[in-house]
Amino acid sequence: MKFFRSFVGYCIAGMIVMAVWSQLGTYGIFGGYLAAIIIIGPMWYMNHYINLTGNEDDAAFVDMGLAIAVCGIMRDTFIQGGDAFSTSLPTILLVGCGAALGGITAAFIEKDMAKKKEFVNENPREPGLRRSDFEKLKEAKEKILRAKRIKIFQKKSSI
């Protein structure tokens, strides 16, 4: 049922965009804003806010852009024939490369953000202090505290 709901939601988004966008595009930039408000806003609300497509928090997120792109490619292929599809292949390949680079970049950024979350400390670093120097200071502080604990323990046991 989840697949069917996603299929219907993305089909509705793709068909409405392909049917209405070109008419709104005749109004220039204002038409683009109008299309965003009239078409994309309600489709996003239906597919993502109401969660018709069933995107889960821990799963890969498929956006409406893919569905709209597939709908546009197939519409032109059905209307103009297979030649329209073959002439669009270089663009499709470049979009795929861009998507892959975007995904790789997002993974690096996410990994870096995870490192920064691990590094959260109760003592903020001084401005300009490198992370390696901060780690050395932290280790020295821990050694001093351990040495004090040992001395305190030795004094208590000798009493």
Q: Report yes or no: 134 and 125 within 8 Å, Cβ to Cβ.
A: yes
Is pLDDT above 60 for 153? Answer: no
In the chain, what is the straight-line distance between the N-terminal and C-terminal CA atoms, in Å? 74
Between these two residues, 38 and 3, which has the higher pLDDT value?
Answer: 38
Average pLDDT of the segment spanning 89-110:
92
Where does residue 121 fall: left (phi above 0), alpha (psi -120 to 50 degrees), or beta otherwise? Answer: beta
Residue 130 is predicted with a pLDDT of 75
Q: Report yes or no: 71 and 15 within 8 Å, Cβ to Cβ.
A: yes
Residue 159 is predicted with a pLDDT of 56
Average pLDDT of the segment spanning 90-95:
92
> Which tens digit of pLDDT belongs to each residue from 6-29?
888 888 999 999 988 888 888 999
Q: Side chain identity at 103, as an amino acid letter?
A: G
Between these two residues, 54 and 60, which has the higher pLDDT value?
Answer: 54
Residue-range domain boundaries for the chain: 1-80, 84-120, 126-159
Average pLDDT of the segment spanning 104-129:
73
Residue 37 is predicted with a pLDDT of 92
Residue 120 is predicted with a pLDDT of 55
Is pLDDT above 80 for 63? Answer: no
Backbone angles phi, psi at 59, to 5 degrees: -110, 165
Q: What is the pTM of this model?
A: 0.58
Question: Using 50, 70 and 90 to split pLDDT, how confident is the model at 144?
Answer: confident
Residue 118 is predicted with a pLDDT of 62
% of the chain at pLDDT higher than 90: 25
